[in-house]
Structure 1
């Protein structure tokens, strides 16, 4: 079955996935780790644009385009396109996809997963074929463990191996600064360095955080169980956390995911100035900022 384009071009921000807290609660017999995490999606990310074309084309540009390995044929965006066509029962659409890679690769903020999820959402709109929720979730899971949570870029709790999703609390109006020392961290190496694999789950969270102080208070009772092992793999993470902690405008700092990206929470009015100061002091680091919600 063919498809008929619904509009000329669709574009969307593929938001970074930031783990405000990440507890490792166990390990299955097949080796997969169990987790309990609060994931959020700030207004920082890559950009995906899709438009009808005469031939299928993927263009990858942006500051981190060269860091993607394996060529465009192995890109998750194209895998998403092919998987979507198969699930929707249509021929592979002839479209031009432009991926503007603004997020560092292998950085603990789900850039590739968010690219894949955003591609799926855009393909539904541009082809007019909308998959059933369970079918879309199954397709997303086949593309990667973090892809399902990125389908809806809203605060979510991730449990199990990441497939057990539920709505997270409402976030306050505040800002976030993301910092990466431009050092790639391999997730298997971090898990290999993890000493304790059965830890307590997240504390119960309220349905809404009224302000930044309330969110900070909650996060102080949580952890990222991968931060210590990641520090042993990538000592540069400590430099990033130290720089964020040294800024009085930053009220809370932590590493996201398996690293090496770290985040600092602050008031919305301070995000841009913190970003500029960090860029000036550490020109070799990647720094980005924006609203948390």
Structure 2
């Protein structure tokens, strides 16, 4: 099979349907428990061989990227593992909001890692790819898996989630960024109980509603708009669950029907035109 010289890939955004935070590990990382779901929002990435490394960013959120190093780090980590000196040109069409709790940077890293491996005829086995991903960032392995997954430890323990019902998420972002590191530094230990990850299919939404995001109260202290956005969703017709994803500031509302989510989004855009909001399907 001839070597492919260029490839295009998609980096899908994620939402945390719940997020529990526990004690720190010996590596000073918090133990977490979460159900991570991927949605139909994605960045587009093209990778091609080049004389030198280059990264071009375009798209609606190109001006918000403050750290491009995760992609460069990914390329370096991959090349080091294979001991290759091939250089790459990467073009990133940034459609996922930045520093928003949607895992955009991690998704980009995972997509680049997978893309590079496809370019190199899958020379690195899946297990080794996950080990590389873990060293790049704690969310990267889940993004590399790219299926709905229970995420625990500090990101290294992944368990496939059962089939989920079809639903749609209305995402709302205030147009401001939050530092994940700052939010975790604010976090004070709670006696969070380990969630039972088993749920009945027909009671899924009821089960999700009972969960929470342990970081939400801290993020709200920095950005009161988070509470305002959640209050809007809580008052919205046919919204089954509302919650913040990751460390924020993006929040989501869950709807069974796309038309219901779109109706609420139309009202939202009229009332709060300065907020970013869109409706996306969950990958089931």
Q: Does 1:102 align with 2:95?
A: yes
Partner of 1:9: 7
Partner of 1:33: 30
Partner of 1:200: 193
Partner of 2:224: 235
Which string of whole-angstrom CA distances, capped at 9 and with x for unpartnered residues, describes residues 158-199 of structure 1? 111121111112111111111111121122332233333331
Deviation at 1:220, TM superposition (A): 2.0
C-alpha spacing 1:87/1:276, structure 2 compared with 1 (3 Å): farther
Q: Distance in 2 between matches of 1:54 and 1:192?
A: 41
Q: Is the 8 A contact 2:44 2:92 kept in 1?
A: yes
Q: Does 1:91 align with 2:80?
A: no
Aligned residues: 282
Q: Distance in 2 between matches of 1:249 and 1:285?
A: 21
C-alpha spacing 1:52/1:32, structure 2 compared with 1 (3 Å): closer
Q: CA RMSD for the aligned pairs?
A: 2.1
- What are the residue-to-residue correspondences of 1:154-169 with 2, within 5 Å? 154-169=147-162
C-alpha spacing 1:189/1:248, structure 2 compared with 1 (3 Å): same
**TM-score using structure 1 length:** 0.88
Q: Does 1:281 align with 2:271?
A: yes
Partner of 2:115: 122
Q: Is the 8 A contact 1:23 1:199 kept in 2?
A: yes
Q: Classify the secondary structure of the residue corresponding to 2:207.
A: helix
Q: Is the 8 A contact 2:6 2:46 kept in 1?
A: no
C-alpha spacing 1:265/1:5, structure 2 compared with 1 (3 Å): same
C-alpha spacing 1:111/1:120, structure 2 compared with 1 (3 Å): same
Q: Is the 8 A contact 1:193 1:232 kept in 2?
A: no
Q: Is the 8 A contact 2:8 2:44 kept in 1?
A: no
Picking from 55, 59, 67, the partner of 1:58 is 55
Q: Is the 8 A contact 2:22 2:189 kept in 1?
A: no
Q: Is the 8 A contact 1:187 1:258 kept in 2?
A: yes
Deviation at 1:201, TM superposition (A): 1.2
Q: Is the 8 A contact 1:108 1:257 kept in 2?
A: yes
Picking from 222, 233, 248, the partner of 1:259 is 248
Deviation at 1:226, TM superposition (A): 0.9
Deviation at 1:56, TM superposition (A): 3.6
Which string of whole-angstrom CA distances, capped at 9 and with x for unpartnered residues, describes residues 28-74 of structure 1? 3543211111111111122212234555432101121111125xxx4
C-alpha spacing 1:85/1:199, structure 2 compared with 1 (3 Å): same
Q: Is the 8 A contact 1:83 1:139 kept in 2?
A: yes
**TM-score using structure 2 length:** 0.91
Task: Name structure 2 gaps, 5 residues minimum.
Answer: none
Q: Is the 8 A contact 1:205 1:218 kept in 2?
A: no
- What are the residue-to-residue correspondences of 1:171-190 with 2, within 5 Å? 171-190=164-183
